[in-house]
Amino acid sequence: MLSIQARNSSLIDTLNLVSRDTGLVVEGLGRDQRIYGQYGPGTLASTLTALLDGSGYNFVIIGGEGGQSPRLVLTTGNAAAAPNTPVAAGSGPIASTASDESAPADPTQPVQPKTPQEIFNELRKMHPQ
Q: What is the mean pLDDT of residues 102-129?
A: 70
pTM: 0.58
**For residue 129, what are the contacts with CB-CB under 8 A and spacing of at least 6?**
none
How high is the mean pLDDT of the chain? 76
**Spans of all domains in the chain:** 2-126
Strand partners of residue 35: 9
User: Which ranges in the chain belong to alpha helices (H)?
Assistant: 11-22, 44-52, 116-126
Of the candidate CATH numbers 3.55.50.30, 3.40.50.261, 3.40.50.620, 3.50.50.60, the domain formed by 2-126 belongs to 3.55.50.30
**CA 128 to CA 83: how far, in whole Å?**
25
pLDDT of residue 79 exceeding 60: no
Return the pLDDT at 117.
82
**CA 53 to CA 23: how far, in whole Å?**
21
